[in-house]
Amino acid sequence: MALLEVARLEKHYPLHAGLGGSLFGSRKLVHAVNGVSFAVEEGQSLGLAGESGCGKTTTAKLILKLLHPTGGMIRFAGRDIAGLQGPDLLAYRRQAQFVFQNPYEALNPRFTIFRAMLEPLIIHRLGDSVTARIELIAEALQQVHLDPPEAFFMKYPHHLSGGQLQRVVIARALLVQPKLLVADEPVSMLDVSVRAGVLNLMRDLTRGRGLTTLYISHDLALISYMCTTTAVMYLGTICEIGPTAEVIGRPKHPYTQALVAAVPDPDPAHKVAAVEISDSVPTPLHIPPGCPFADRCPKVMEVCRRVRPVLQQVEGVQVACHLYGEVTSANA
Amino acid sequence: MGLLDLDGLAVEYQTLHGAVRAVRGVSLSLPAGRALGLVGESGCGKTTLARALIGVLPRNARITGGSYRFDGVEMLALGRDGFNDYRWRRIAMVPQAAMDSLDPVQRVGDQMAETMVLRGGMTRSAALSRAEEIFRLVGLEPGRLRLYPHELSGGMKQRAVIALALALRPQLVIADEPVTALDVIVQHQVLRMLRDLRATLGVSLLLITHDISVVAHLCDDVAVMYAGRIVEWGPVGEVFARPRHPYTMGLRNAFPSLREHQEHLVPIEGYPPDLHNPPQGCAFAPRCPFAIQRCWDDDPALTVADGMAAACHRASEAAALRVEVAQAFERMVKDEAPAPAAPLEVE
């Protein structure tokens, strides 16, 4: 059974269109997440890729119950998380942990590292005694290669570098033995030379514990390194999802193809293919009735502007694109 | 002699905790019409260097030594007014976070015209028609000159800022992270536009970025900066294929690539040195798996061999070091042992 199941998830934000808009009741909606469905098996790692504004961070926040969905359902270990309250919600929070994008803001500047690490133990009532808690914290810091851990106990966040801080954030998330770890752009604030260390650490720690992970990133290279499954989001919907090697190695959706082709390569001998799609950034305010990508798509057909494509199985991946419509109808 | 020649340029910041030597003797040369990419991590001094070149250092910073020649003229000897003759007319800049560098309460066209009138001594009508011309060049409809910055998308703002830099037909454009804040597809298109512009205008470009892929896409030469110094400098293809400095070698294995399948990334252990108190020897020695005693004792100078320059005592052995570089950096991670000679034992 899938550990995490998301079905037809929606999140709409009302747009405050000034005084006139609110007086005359013309409420516009931003469709941040517009019908997202996927499932993550236990121990799997899913990467959510897409440009800024495609709804990937909103999806993560909905899963962590930091936001309430407008529609759809999220199931964790078979249980709908919508109605969770009190002790059940607390238990869920322990099982689903978050690694934030900006480690400089994820730790209270007035707390020592020890105090910051102690907080989740207090909240979730873990560790029977002070010594047990000290041991747990020391062990967690050691696992993220902050060695010797005691040397970091009394340090404040401003004493540490970005890479060290992100290690603390990871250690803190893993301290409560979660089942699901959601990481939103975990290394984008870090320097290139320390990124690899943090990525390796997250990969080793999560694989070693059989942890289920969800990585949110705009960086396809990072996702291909970290994730077994990749989902590409566009304007609040998933346009392609499947095994990473397939999605990135043989992209099917024209948007995924453009994304992959647009990634610059450090090898100057590698000539980057021209990406023939417009750079006008779409707005989640007016989502067209048909395919959300139709306006930028180089292979747009008449049907794309009328009918919204749904995800369908094409050669081992799921693609929401009319180009592959005939394949499935022939198979069906 | 190049269009831009730097020799031992040094910049210091005065802080409460003493001087920070952000740029510690940078020597570089950029021939006219070429594009040089300056890559390095945050804090390596690349932005400070860029700001020194256009004369907009913050108040607590000052140039403490070296020479900066532009088109044969020693710029450091020019006074404030003398420098103003160059700024924007001959050396223009696309600043970091260019998207936030437009005035939100002025129409884009007015901002462009203002710059051209004040800096270029043009009439307003001449400036406006030049603005239309340059907008077409960067792929924007001239009609958008009437818009306010918030009415433009990120990619359009970036194009507008590039247009502003090109307005007075400068010889050199310094672009500081021109595509970092953009999404990958927009980034791709802005990079392509920059490449086309370089071909049509023949403008020289100094591109500052942390992303080596962007340099590979756009530049002829690359200079790698570490802790306020240039550690390697040469043609992009050469530096990429045959890096001679261990830092450049290490970077290649340190971030994921989409096209090369990597089972395992190898980080560069440790952190850059504190520039309050720069080390006596090579600044990279504490993180370098190949450091020898000499590296701790004296700082290697940038030495040219076969058209490539590297600041490394072991540059002549680079070919052999490249073979084992991944394993060597990996060992540093695993052992977490200090490099062969600990800095305290030196003296």
Q: Please tell me whether residue B238 adopts helix, strand or coil conformation.
A: helix
Buried/exposed A129-147: b ≥16 CB within 10 Å, e otherwise:
eeeebbebbbebbebbbbe
Both structure tokens of B12: 């210091």
Quick one: which of B105, B122, B104 has its CA closest to B113? B122
> Are the CB atoms for B170 and B90 separated by under 8 Å?
yes
Q: Determine the 3-state secondary structure of A273 from DSSP.
A: coil
Chain A residues whose CB is inside 8 A of the B211 CB are 192, 264
How far is residue A292 CA from its own chain's centroid? 21
**Nearest CA distance, B126 vs chain A (angstrom):** 30
Burial class (CB in 10 A: 0-12, 13-18, 19+), A24: exposed
Question: pTM for this one?
Answer: 0.85
- CA B262 vs. chain centroid, Å, equals 27
For residue B215, give both structure tokens.
Answer: 């340099």
What pLDDT tens digit does each residue of chain B (347 aa) get?
789 999 999 999 999 888 999 999 999 999 999 999 999 988 899 999 999 999 989 999 999 999 999 999 999 999 888 898 999 999 999 987 777 889 999 999 999 999 999 999 999 999 999 999 999 999 999 999 999 999 988 888 999 999 999 999 999 999 998 888 788 888 888 888 999 999 899 999 999 998 888 898 899 999 999 999 999 999 999 998 899 999 999 988 887 877 776 778 888 888 888 888 889 999 999 999 999 999 999 999 999 887 889 999 999 999 999 988 888 988 887 765 444 433 333 32
Q: Give the pLDDT score at A33.
A: 93
Portion of chain A with pLDDT greater than 90, in percent: 65
Q: Name the residue with tokens 């180089």.
A: A298
Chain A residues whose beta carbon lies within 8 Å of the beta carbon of residue B237:
268-269
What pLDDT does B101 receive?
Answer: 87
Of A161, A218, A220, the CB nearest to B258: A220
State the smallest CA–CA distance between residue B245 and chain A in angstroms: 14
pLDDT computed for residue A70 by the predictor? 94
Q: Are the CB atoms for B273 and B321 separated by under 8 Å? A: no
Q: Do B252 and A266 touch (CB under 8 A)?
A: yes
Nearest CA in chain A to B287: A193
Q: A268–B216: do the CB atoms touch at under 8 Å? A: yes
Written as one letter, the residue type at A27 is R
SS3 content of chain B, % helix, strand, coil (to 5): 40, 20, 40
Taking the C-alpha atoms of residue B109 and residue B226, their distance in angstroms, rounded to an integer, is 39
Strand order in the sheet with B172-176: B91-94, B172-176, B204-209, B35-39, B221-226, B229-235, B308-310, B303-305
ipTM for the complex? 0.79
Local structure of A3: helix, strand or coil: strand
| Pairs of residues, one from chain A and one from chain B, whose beta carbons lie less than 8 Å apart | 126
Inter-chain contact A192–B259, Cβ cutoff 8 Å? Answer: no
What integer pLDDT is reported at residue B272 of this predicted model?
86
pLDDT of residue A327: 46
Helix (H, G, I), strand (E, B) or coil at A192: helix
Q: Please name the residue of chain A whose CA is at the shortest distance from the CA of residue B337.
A: A147
Nearest Cα to Cα of residue B338 among B277, B269, B274, B254: B269
Q: Which residues of chain A are under the pLDDT cut of 50?
A: 327-332
Cβ-Cβ contacts under 8 Å, A274 against chain B: 192
Check A224 against B256: CB less than 8 A apart.
yes
Judged by CB atoms closer than 8 Å, whether chains meet at B185 and A279 is answered as yes
Nearest chain A residue to B219 by CA: give it.
A268
Answer yes or no: are the C-beta atoms of B243 and B82 closer than 8 Å.
no
Give me the pLDDT at residue A31, please. 86
Q: Nearest chain A residue to B218 by CA: give it.
A: A268
Question: Closest approach of chain B CAs to the CA of A80, in angstroms?
Answer: 34
In whole angstroms, what separates CA A92 from the centre of its chain? 18
d(CA A259, CA A271) in angstroms, rounded, equals 15
